[in-house]
Amino acid sequence: MRFERVPMPDGVGARPRDGRGYPVPAITPWRDGQPQFALTDHGRSANCALERRCSVCGEFMERGPVWRVVGAAESTAIAEAVAAGRPYRNLAPTMEGPGHRACMLYASMVCPYLARPNARRRVTADGPADGLTAAAVRGAARGGTGAVVGFGDYEYAVTAERVLFRFLDVVEFLPHESAEEHLAELRAELARAAGAQGR
C-alpha cells in the first residue's frame, strides 16, 4: 500500500518530511540534511523517554498504555504468552521506544521494513551487530508475523551509548502478516481521537 493512501495522525502530519514526502519519526537522526530512517538518534530517543513523548510523532503520551511495533520473534513470544495466560515482559531490552496507538498503527503500515515480512533494511546501524542491533543490519529481513502491541507501562534506561526500553503487561495484541490488515483499526482510532477532540 502506498504511504500517501494511509490516513495520517495529526501529530505525524506535523513532522518534517523527506524528499519523497515520508514523515520523519521523532527519534530519527539527520545527516547532511537527509533523515537516516534505519537509525535511532540517542539524544532524540532519550528526550522522548525522559519526557514521555511518542517516538513517532514526538508529542506527549498521557499516562496509561503505550504501543510499539514488534517483529516476528517477539510477536511469537507475545502470542504464546497471551495464549497461555502468562504475563509478558521483554527481558532483553530493546532500543525501540513506545508511542501512541494511532502512531504505531500508522508506522506499521508506512515503514516498508515494518509493513512486510520480506522487506529488508537498506541501511545498516553503526557498529557491530548484537542482540539489540541485529534487526538494524543492512539486508536483515523482518520475517514472519509482526504485530502492533499495547503495553500497560514501560521502563527505560539512558546509558552513554543507548536508550533501552522494557515493556510489561500486554493490553492489546494485533498481529499481522502484512500491516495493511490494520487499516480499518487505524481509521477507527483516528475517528475516536477526532470525536474526543470535538467534545
pLDDT tens for each residue of 4-51: 889 999 999 999 999 999 999 999 999 999 999 889 999 999 999 999
180, three cell numbers: 495493511
Q: Under a CB-based contact definition with an 8 Å cutoff, are residues 70 and 111 in contact? A: no
pLDDT at 144: 61
What are the pLDDT digits (tens) for 97-134? 999 999 999 999 998 767 555 454 454 444 444 444 44
Task: Using only the alpha carbons of the chain, give its radius of gyration.
Answer: 16
pLDDT at 131: 44
* Mean pLDDT rounded to a whole number for the chain: 86
Q: Under a CB-based contact definition with an 8 Å cutoff, are residues 55 and 66 in contact? A: no
Which three-class secondary structure state does DSSP give residue 175? strand
d(CA 157, CA 26): 18
- List own/partner pairs for 57-64 with CB under 8 A and 24 or more apart: 57/9, 57/11, 57/12, 57/14, 57/15, 57/25, 57/26, 57/99, 57/100, 57/103, 58/11, 58/15, 58/26, 59/11, 59/100, 61/98, 61/99, 61/100
Distances 123 to 38, 104, 113, 126 between C-alpha atoms, Å: 6, 21, 11, 9
pLDDT band at 136 (very low <50, low <70, confident <90, very high): very low
